Amino acid sequence: MAKSRYLAGKKIVPHPIPGGIRVTDLIDNYFQAYNAARLKEAAQLFAQKMLAPDVTIGMSLTGALTPAGLGGSCVVPLIKSGFVDWIVSTGANLYHDTHFAIGHSLHKGSPFVDDTLLRKEGVIRIYDILFDYEVLLSTDAFFRHLIAQPEFQKEMGTAEFHYRVGKYVAARERKLGIKNASVIATAYRYAVPVYTSSPGDSSIGMNVAAMALDGFGLKIDVSKDVNETAAIVLNAKRKGGRSGVLIFGGGSPKNFMLQTEPQIQEVLGINEKGHDFFIQITDARADTGGLSGATPSEAVSWGKVDPSKLPDTVVTYLDSTVAMPIITSYALAKRKPRKPKKLYLRLPELMESLKKEHDRVKHKLK
């Protein structure tokens, strides 16, 4: 009998793992099935295809990743290597990211402590991460001091807000002799635009709101964010390149990153097909109907992912705190740094191109 085409994959070989094995060898040769295999596929897709020079890569961050140190350990090296071109994050990740850059410390602890005692002693808990309540008060004061500066007394999108904040966070890092601790400072240095899909839903947003009560003029323009992110993706495609998304978690940042294509196609009426690459690390199930667990094939039905590119999509059902260091280490070992695209500095140009295409569509419809 002819051998089934379904048996064309590599044989699973149960070789013993040697001591001192490199991460790249462990992934390539020993992650053979289940979500280990999906993690291998994600790492290989990212390193082998998505990091081509013509791919514009967006990263979304959900869940308490920066308090666990993953901002400095993973996101910062990816930005510095040119492996991330734009970011959508929860505001909470950016707020907690700032703690490290302004000289505060967070501590390893236990998730099984008595929270009523922690409250009495002024200790905050994020599962097994513990830190002093004064860290929050100090970080709040830092943001309020920035929001009071003249350059913040206007309406702006979150990319501009974070870029301006990043300048001050980077300066504080330099003054304190702290290196490579902050995502927001590194994004400023490499002109990587950073967006927050729900700017009111974090301690940063709470401090912006408090300063508004005191008569300060900062307002967040969410419409600008929607159009700028769509402009980034459209530019990637129109310049003969491709667009890839690297999604850690789900929630609002995932949707905000993926809705760029429906914004381009459905709302603005511009002819486009969808993102070319899709990697998601998630612990959410698809069968509950939530966006966090929605698969790439479901995204095709919305126009978010190019249907012809489904082979270049991977979903790994795994904790981001496990997957992110592994994918980062693998990519840094396998690929040389890319030239930074510095998209923040090009946003006015990209927005003008988006508007021109939209205006042409409107003219045709008249």
Please give the distance of CA 119 from its chain centroid, rounded to a whole number: 32
Q: Return the half-sphere exposure (C-beta side, CA atoms, 13 A cut-off) of residue 213.
A: 6
**Nearest-10 Cα torsion for 61, 62, 67, 72:** -10
Residue 31 parent element (H or E):
none
Name the active-site residue from 304, 334, 336, 342. Answer: 304
Burial per residue of 50-73, b for 16 or more beta-carbon CB atoms within 10 angstroms, e otherwise? bbeeebbbbbbbbbbbbbbbbbbb
Using DSSP's 3-state secondary structure scheme, residue 48 falls into: helix
Phi and psi for 302 in degrees, rounded to 5?
A: -95, -5
237: annotated active-site residue:
no
* Closest to 35 (Cα-Cα) out of 228, 216, 281: 281
User: Cα–Cα distance between 18 and 21 in angstroms, integer?
Assistant: 6
Supply the DSSP symbol for 2.
Answer: P
Count of residues for the chain?
A: 366
User: Cα–Cα distance between 345 and 189 in angstroms, integer?
Assistant: 11
**Residues noted as catalytic:** 304
